[in-house]
Structure 1
Amino acid sequence: MRHLSRTALLAALATTLATTLPSLAFAHTGVGDTHGFTHGFGHPLGGLDHMLAMVTVGIFAWQLGGRAIWAVPATFVALMAVGGALGISGVDVPFVELGIGLSVVVLGAVVAFGLKAPLAVAMAVVGFFAIFHGHAHGAEMPADASGLGYGLGFMTATGLLHLAGIGLGMAIGRFGETHGEKYVRGAGAAVAVAGLALLGGVL
């Protein structure tokens, strides 16, 4: 119960930060930033591959528990920002679409098999895939959008998707004390299959 309360507190804090950061930034910037934020926020929500990967990062973090609940999603957001900067700057990163598709498969499989990876390994894996996602976001930024606003937008959306994954993991896990973990793994398997379908052009 103490673990769940701590998780809920972390989730609430992250949500507060995610929702207040853009407004704090806009207090000192202009309309272009607001326009960029809107486009940036919508970009991760406009692709099934992005949404599946980011929600699954949250589920994976919940599975690992402890510090991973905040460290794994935070690593994804941080490295995604790096990838986004590369995309905005026009720096080429090879196999971006393949990397995004594989991220869905790999993250889904990790959850499906319930792999209890060391924290450093988990952070390295999600950070690696985050670069591909970030580059795709950055490369597709509208020409008239503010880079700052756009970056804040897709980072905020990503953080909220991670929180959704953490919440989903908690909800499924508590659905049944005996079979909850099986349901979580089943969700991971479904994500992995969806990733394969995305790579195969079926979805």
Structure 2
Amino acid sequence: MQHKTLRGLITASLLAGLAGAAQAHTGHGTQSFMQGLVHPLGLDHLLVMVAVGLWSVTALPRGKAWQGPTTFMLALLVGAFMGAMGFIVPYLEHAVALSVGLLGMMLIASRTALPTGLGLGLVAAAASLHGLAHGAETPASGAAGYAIGFLATTAALHLGGVFTGLGIRRALNQRAGWALGGLGAAMGGAGLFLFGQLAA
């Protein structure tokens, strides 16, 4: 029964993210707190932020799961500041889509001993890309409310990933690694799908 419930929650989350896939960075407002709250629910952001929580509780030393979400949010802020200052990266949207696949591979690799510094560095790199994308589209007015809303949802998604990872470990015990690997593979496929949509 626990396995069916967990599977249902994961499926519902992925479907909800797919519903917002087309709204990742276009056709949305960036001038209010509420718009900031909603924006991370686009597929690319949702998957990456949940994956950071999942990876952190699985791959980082016990008691240090907070380092993944903290690293992500700090790098996100730095990237957003750089984007607002006009720093441009070619094919940024493509790189953001590939970051979904990167986090998927990290989930698959969480069954092995990935060095903590390398893992956190990859988390920071992915967050910087997302931050650059947001900073480039943030207006001069209303930016503070939008940023607060965006960060609040980001933190909630990280926590969701952490609690999901803990739930998977508790429910599946020795098979938790396989479940996370399956989620990572699905996320990698989602990243390729998003990249293909941009490249088409």
**How would you bin the TM-score normalised by the shorter chain?**
0.7 to 0.9
Large movers: runs of 4+ above 4 Å: none
Following superposition, the deviation at residue 200 of structure 1 comes to: 1.1
Per-residue CA shift, 1:29-81, capped at 9, x if unaligned? xxxxxx63222222111x10111111111111011132541111101100100
RMSD of the alignment, in Å?
A: 2.0
Following superposition, the deviation at residue 152 of structure 1 comes to: 1.7
Does the CA contact (< 8 Å) of 1:40 and 1:154 recur in 2?
yes
Partner of 1:53: 48
Partner of 2:80: 84
Task: State how far apart, in whole Å, the 1-side matches of 2:38 and 2:138 are.
Answer: 11
Partner of 1:126: 123
Task: State how far apart, in whole Å, the 2-side matches of 1:116 and 1:159 are.
Answer: 26
Task: State how far apart, in whole Å, the 1-side matches of 2:64 and 2:160 are.
Answer: 15
Taking every aligned residue pair, what percent have the same amino acid on both sides?
Answer: 38
Task: State how far apart, in whole Å, the 1-side matches of 2:120 and 2:181 are.
Answer: 20
Q: TM-score, normalised by structure 2?
A: 0.76
Three-state SS of the structure 2 residue aligned to 1:179 is: helix
Q: TM-score, normalised by structure 1?
A: 0.75
Task: State how far apart, in whole Å, the 2-side matches of 1:104 and 1:170 are.
Answer: 21
**5+ residue gaps in structure 1?**
1-34
Question: Where do residues 147-158 of structure 1 align in structure 2 (5 Å cutoff)?
Answer: 147-158=143-154
Task: State how far apart, in whole Å, the 2-side matches of 1:44 and 1:165 are.
Answer: 14
Following superposition, the deviation at residue 136 of structure 1 comes to: 1.4
Three-state SS of the structure 2 residue aligned to 1:163 is: helix
Question: Where do residues 61-140 of structure 1 align in structure 2 (5 Å cutoff)?
Answer: 61-65=56-60, 66-114=62-110, 115-140=112-137
Task: State how far apart, in whole Å, the 1-side matches of 2:136 and 2:38 are.
Answer: 14
Read off the aligned partner of 2:192 and give its amino acid letter: L
Read off the aligned partner of 1:97 and give its amino acid letter: E
Does the CA contact (< 8 Å) of 1:39 and 1:153 recur in 2?
yes
Partner of 2:13: none
**5+ residue gaps in structure 2?**
1-30
Task: State how far apart, in whole Å, the 2-side matches of 1:73 and 1:108 are.
Answer: 16
Following superposition, the deviation at residue 94 of structure 1 comes to: 2.9
Following superposition, the deviation at residue 96 of structure 1 comes to: 1.6
